[in-house]
């Protein structure tokens, strides 16, 4: 599993970038992926098309867009880029606009970057670390924060009944799906946050979390107890026979905690 520092070199970081709109913001992130050898130019167009087709679901937290597309021949290797905007721009998200940070992801497959996504989700969920990233003076300072040199990060906060378990007895193992347009980016962020909450509850042994895309989710829904996703993807899924809960901030342990409580009526 690749670490965050392996996927985000200093050369893939740009701070205080000017962008007139969300397309220019994604172009900036895509350009860095191309410059550092992770993708071809066509991958940027694929990231833009993803938003055009699926809506601004990639804006997964206030001020934060996670730009990506499906694995494709345009991806040479898995990599990340980081663009902090000089002035925030609108992506059209109902609650998380405007965006001041765009992280670009190019993924060769759905698994190689899982550890890096977990690390990034934890960093962005910690207010002190998020503030340090926003205030970093240059790419080197920002990468130092991401590497943990600014101090220990705090696990995503959640409270729950430690030792309790879902209905069905000790042997029961439930599945919850986290869903995005492509199954390799934003759904992994939400999966990581949900798994941290489950761990805090003491339910990690009893609930399996699977990140997937919209097409696969419709086929897998019958095996799940619930789906957690964005508002845009929830509309795309429609009625799949299990509860679909909208999460606005994919990095918020508190919001995911509430969603989990609603799922199990805790």
Write out the catalytic residue numbers. 68
Question: Edge to edge, what strands does the sheet with 13-17 contain?
Answer: 13-17, 79-89, 99-106, 64-68, 59-61
| Phi, psi of 176, rounded to the nearest 5 degrees | -115, 130
CA distance 107 to 115: 13
Q: Max CA-CA distance within the chain?
A: 55
C-alpha 249: how far from its chain's center? Answer: 9
Length of the chain: 266
Residues sharing a CB contact under 8 Å with residue 62, sequence separation 6 or more, in sequence order: 95, 96, 249
Q: How many CB atoms lie within 10 A of CB 246?
A: 16
């Amino acid at each position: 599993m690749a670490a965050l520092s392996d996927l985000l070199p200093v050369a893939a970081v740009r701070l205080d970038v000017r962008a007139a709109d969300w397309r220019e913001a994604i172009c900036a992130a895509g350009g860095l992926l191309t410059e550092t050898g992770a993708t071809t130019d066509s991958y940027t167009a694929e990231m833009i098309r993803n938003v055009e087709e699926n809506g601004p679901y990639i804006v997964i937290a206030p001020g934060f867009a996670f730009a990506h597309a499906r694995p494709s021949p345009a991806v040479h290797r898995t990599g990340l880029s980081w663009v902090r905007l000089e002035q925030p721009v609108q992506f059209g998200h109902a609650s998380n606009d405007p965006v001041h940070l765009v992280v670009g992801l190019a993924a060769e497959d759905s698994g190689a970057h899982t550890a890096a996504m977990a690390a990034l989700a934890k960093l962005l969920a910690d207010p002190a670390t998020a503030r340090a990233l926003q205030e970093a003076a240059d790419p080197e300072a920002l990468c130092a924060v991401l590497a943990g040199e600014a101090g220990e990060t705090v696990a995503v906060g959640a409270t729950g009944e430690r030792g309790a378990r879902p209905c069905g007895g000790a042997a029961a193992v439930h599945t919850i799906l986290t869903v995005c347009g492509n199954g390799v980016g934003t759904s992994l962020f939400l999966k990581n946050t949900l798994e941290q909450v489950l761990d805090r509850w003491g339910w990690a042994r009893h609930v399996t979390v699977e990140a997937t895309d919209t097409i696969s989710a419709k086929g897998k829904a019958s095996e799940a107890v619930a789906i957690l996703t964005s508002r845009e993807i929830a509309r795309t899924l429609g009625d799949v026979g299990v509860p679909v809960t909208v999460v606005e901030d994919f990095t918020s342990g508190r919001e995911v905690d509430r969603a989990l409580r609603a799922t199990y009526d805790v």
